[in-house]
Structure 1
Amino acid sequence: MASSVLLAAVYSGVILLLAKRKFRGEELGKTGFAAAAAAVFLTGLILRLWLGLTSEGFSSDLDTFKAWARITNEVGFGRIYREDIYLDYPPGYLYILTGLEKLRLLWGLESTSSAFTLMMKLPSILTDMACAGMLLVLARPRLGEKSALFLSAAYLFCPAVFLNSAQWGQADSFCTAILLGSVLLLYREHYFPSAILYGVAIACKPQMLIFAPLYLFFAVKQRKFWSLLLGIVSAVATLLLIATPFTQDFNYLWLVEKYRTTMDYYHYYSINAYNFWALIRWNWKSLPQGVAGSLLNLVGPVLATALCAVLLGFSKRKDAVFACPVLLMSAMYLFSVKMHERYLFPALLFLLLSYLFVRDKRLLYAFSGMAFSHYLNVAYVLWQAQEKGSSYDPNTGLTVFLSLLQLLAFGYLLFVAWSVYIRGTVREGREPLERPLLD
């Protein structure tokens, strides 16, 4: 755990130092830029493949993914949700898992082999690369070549991003990449394809529902009411289309029930998310039943929705749409009940994307603080699981300290968001080098 703290400190320190630097001589030339980008991305990929192959990760999650892949391949889509097994994912990601299982059988790999474990991590590893690539493509014409390389490298080599995909083996990066495409299309007011991608994201993970207010308030502000309606219909239709092979007689009530039971499965204030509830030592404490429990379920969603409404309602910047996922996810993570340690993950990418459009270096400082505290949260949970199994203390002094750290990072984020998007005060900004790709 000490090495994790050191790694987080070094990474965040480097980000802070480079954020203050004014890159001069931005152009590297066609050959120089291509060589530098290839070196950055190849290094990021090699490190991920090595970690994916050698790191045990969170074995219970990976074993669960492998079991879902095997059983789905054996019984088929139509029966998997009728099997007497624990399955809390909606159907979207089962397509990926089943495809990986078919490849395992084709190549004759053992299900317990490190090669198959790496295969299970590959969807998130590859989408890590894709998200960093999108940052590079978008940042190059706006910030210059050196700044674009810095921004993509900041994401590629973020310890929290490494841990989530290459070590833990979770699917957060995969879903975040789909959400990224959807929000970029929303920014350009391509509501129909944006809604389709958002429907795919919801079909992969229920947590993607957290971002629904973003689409609602953006369309309302742009006065695109028919587009909003079309978007809702398109997202729902996409979700139902993905679920159809798993459905009998076109009765989709099972899908509604699956989302409900998934969101109600962990009836605790916090599930290792070091947030307000962990700060008061209520990590893994059972929620009350009845009216009190129902009201507690509303705290995070109401706060997150209000922040999103204020940001989009009062900001004169259209690119505030990229900051909304950060506020939505951060507010939900820190104040909602039933949050897992990894749920903050999408906020990291969208913070860097927000800086790309605003060019206020305080957003990089906010990213540094959030990346530091979030990584320590997830690394500490993973360390406890590997070292102590299920007998660890969920409410240690370090848990409380890390909870406070994440709340302070959120406080700074709120200050920067208010200053940049509401007051319109952009510090250390710079004009784009040429017309932005998305305008």
Structure 2
Amino acid sequence: MPDVLARAPHLRARELAVLLAAVALLYAACVPFLNGDVRNYLIPWTRYLLDHGRFAALGDDFSEYAPPYLYLLSLGSWAVPAIGIVPAIKLVSIVGTVLLAAAMNALLATRLARRQALSGAALTLVVPTVVANGPAWGQCDALYTAFAVLAVAAFVGQRPALAMAAVGAALSFKLQAVFIAPLVLAMVLAGRARWWMLAIMPATYAAAMLPAWAAGRPAAELATLYLAQGHHYHDLARSVPNIWQILRALVAIPYPIGVAVGLAAAAAATIAVAWRTHRHLGCPADVVLAALAGAMVVPYLLPKMHNRYFFMADVLAFAYLLLRPTRRAAWIAGLAQVGSLLSYATFLLHLTGGAFVGAFFMTAALVLVGREVRARMPAHDAIRAPAAHFNGSCPQFISE
């Protein structure tokens, strides 16, 4: 604990103020940036909300995104007359980014001093993929990731019911929140969460759908929202830096076979990560490492992924670096950032081959995560870490 405190970022009040001012200017500069998603989807969806009555429009199936995001987009649309439609859309994304920073503060505060946790949260606002995803791209991945990070913080704080509710909230925004599943399963296997608590997740999801249902959208449609999304396209990889980006460039893989193999591999990896890590959840850094391992390996193996689907892994890698600032942790965070940014550039900057090259960086990051898990969570150590470790230092299995 003292060693981590010595190396964690500690911004003084003036430095923190300068950083936040720079963030405000950076985000403002990103607002005018347009791309295909904003032009072809987000602007039409916002106009639909304005033209059909904000609440009444929620009863219609006019968007590929889940209703909770549309609730926020509807609220943001009130600012359209004052600031314009694109800034209003970006405002929602920026609010999600700020929420992500707040969630990061909650997670870091489980082990770091108050000023250090706040410093780490502020630095999250300038992580390259965080800036690119929300303020620049106008996407909402920060929203579901914020709730996933809150779930990790709740697990660390031994509040499993709250953690399950946070996971359910994350799932109500995007199905990609399922990347936290290995940690959830690990907590159940470790006895840190009860099996019945798993029911909290669908209950929270159902509660999040109530406004759309009240507006007239059928309950069956809301319950099967993500099943319908799975049929939107038939690519094994869509500008995503994962194994399918590499494989499809080398060999011809029939779509049905690729989907079946990928789903089976991801399911097996989820169980494997949960089983390997469930006896080693004795301190915040180890819990974050378990979450990071899942958030990286699941989208790496799953087919039909998009370029932004390593966003949760990017954020958790940064959190892990702040909690355990070692050379390997720095390499993991750096490689994940480069891999994701190259994939982003495929769409935002039309960089040919960006996702393919990025897949090798993400592969290297995943290999290092595997090594970190083996080093910090040795298979032969079958003794569960006592819960008291949550309030103190973590057992170290290798030298820093």
In 1: Cα distance, 2:6 partner to 2:164 partner: 40
State whether structure 2 residue 44 is matched by structure 1 residue 67: yes
Does residue 38 (structure 1) correspond to residue 17 (structure 2)? The answer is yes
Question: Judging changes above 3 Å, is the alpha-carbon distance between structure 1 residues 101 and 216 closer, same or farther for their aligned structure 2 residues?
Answer: same
Cα distance, 1:210 vs structure 2: 2.8
Q: Does the 8 Å contact 1:71/1:80 carry over to 2?
A: no
What is the 5 A alignment of 1:53-202? 53=32, 55-56=33-34, 58-61=35-38, 63-73=40-50, 74-75=52-53, 77=55, 80=58, 82-83=60-61, 85=62, 87-105=63-81, 107=82, 109=83, 113=84, 116-132=85-101, 135=104, 139=108, 142=111, 151-152=120-121, 154-202=123-171
Counterpart Cα distance in 1 of 2:114 and 2:212: 46
- Could you tell me which runs of 5 or more consecutive residues in structure 2 were left unpaired when the two chains were aligned: 382-389, 394-400
Distance 2:171 2:202 in 1: 9
Q: 1:334 to 1:76 in 2, by over 3 A?
A: same
Q: Structure 2: how far apart are the matches of 1:75 and 1:140? A: 42
Structure 2 SS opposite 1:265 = coil
Matches within 5 A, 1:289-328: 289=256, 292=257, 295-315=260-280, 317-319=282-284, 320-328=286-294
In structure 1, the partner of 2:373 is 417
SS at match of 1:323: helix
The 1:65–1:305 alpha-carbon spacing in structure 2 relative to 1, beyond 3 Å, is same
1:11 is aligned to none
Distance of aligned partners of 1:59 and 1:436 in 2 relative to their CA distance in 1, 3 Å threshold:
farther
Do residues 401 (structure 1) and 324 (structure 2) align?
A: no
CA contact under 8 A between 1:91 and 1:204: conserved in structure 2?
yes
Query: 2:103 & 2:16 partners in 1: Cα distance?
Result: 12
In 1: Cα distance, 2:118 partner to 2:64 partner: 38
The 1:375–1:220 alpha-carbon spacing in structure 2 relative to 1, beyond 3 Å, is: same
Q: TM-score, normalised by structure 2?
A: 0.81
Contact 1:274 1:334 (8 Å CA) reproduced? yes
Question: Aligned-pair distance for 1:287?
Answer: 5.2
Q: How many equivalent residue pairs?
A: 379
**Preserved contact between residue 275 and residue 333 of structure 1 (Cα < 8 Å):** yes
Matches within 5 A, 1:419-438: 419-422=375-378
> Structure 2 vs 1, CA of residues 342 and 153 (structure 1 numbering), >3 Å: closer, same or farther?
same
Please report how far the alpha carbon of residue 242 of structure 1 lies from its aligned counterpart in structure 2 after TM superposition: 2.0
- Within 5 Å, which residues of 2 pair with 1:240-319? 240-247=206-213, 252-282=219-249, 288-289=255-256, 292=257, 295-315=260-280, 317-319=282-284
Q: Structure 1 residues 173 and 151, CA, compared in 2 at 3 Å: closer, same or farther?
A: same
List gaps (5 residues or longer) in structure 1: 1-20, 386-392, 426-433
Distance in 2 of aligned mates of 1:312 and 1:76: 45
SS in 2 for 1:339: coil
| Letter in structure 2 aligned against 1:94 | L
Matches of 1:344 and 1:222, distance apart in 2: 28
Pair 1:368–1:154, CA change in 2 (3 A): farther
- Superposed displacement of residue 125, structure 1: 2.2
Identity rate of aligned residues, in percent?
Answer: 19
Alpha-carbon shift at residue 236 of structure 1 (Å): 1.7
Q: 1:217 to 1:133 in 2, by over 3 A?
A: closer
1:237, CA displacement in angstroms?
2.0
Contact preservation (8 Å) 2:182, 2:291:
no
1:7 maps to what in 2? none
Say if 2:58 and 2:212, in contact at 8 Å, map to a contact too: yes
Structure 2 contact 158–192 (Cα < 8 Å) conserved: no
Residues 126 and 256 (structure 1 numbering): CA distance in 2 closer, same or farther, change over 3 Å?
A: closer
- Structure-2 residue corresponding to 1:379: 345
State the Cα distance separating 1:251 from its structure 2 match: 5.7
Q: Return the offset for 1:27.
A: 10
Q: Distance in 1 between matches of 2:112 and 2:57?
A: 51
Structure-1-length-normalised TM-score: 0.75
Residues of 2 paired with 1:256 and 1:22: CA distance?
44
C-alpha distance in 2, partners of 1:38/1:94? 32
Distance in 2 (alpha carbons) for counterparts of 1:140 and 1:276: 35
Q: Are 2:172 and 1:203 equivalent residues in the alignment?
A: yes
> For 1:250-277, what per-residue CA distance to the aligned partner results, in whole angstroms no more than 9, with x for missing partners?
9622123321011232221101102212
Contact 1:279 1:399 in 2 (8 A): no
1:369: which partner in 2? 335
Cα deviation, 1:172-221, whole Å, max 9, x if unaligned, reads 11221122112211221222322222222111112112323422320331
Task: Confirm or deny: 8 A CA contact 1:267 1:286 kept in the other structure.
Answer: no
The answer (yes or no) to whether the contact 1:178–1:198 under 8 Å persists in 2 is yes
**Displacement of 1:126 after TM fit?**
3.4
Which whole-Å CA distance do the structure 2 matches of 1:408 and 1:27 have between them?
A: 26
Q: Distance in 2 between matches of 1:156 and 1:296?
A: 37
**In 2, Cα distance between the equivalents of 1:149 and 1:224?**
28
Please tell me the residue identity of whatever aligns with 2:80. Answer: R
Alpha-carbon spacing, 1:93–1:135, altered in 2? closer, same or farther (3 Å): closer
Tell me which moved more, 243-252 or 269-278.
243-252
Q: Does structure 2 retain, via aligned residues, the 8 Å contact 1:307–1:327? A: no
What residue identity is the alignment partner of 2:266? P
Q: Which amino acid aligns with 2:142?
A: S
Given that residues 304 and 327 in structure 1 are in contact (C-alpha distance below 8 angstroms), is that contact kept between their aligned partners in structure 2? Answer: no
Task: Say if 2:236 and 2:255, in contact at 8 Å, map to a contact too.
Answer: no
Match of 2:311 in 1: 345
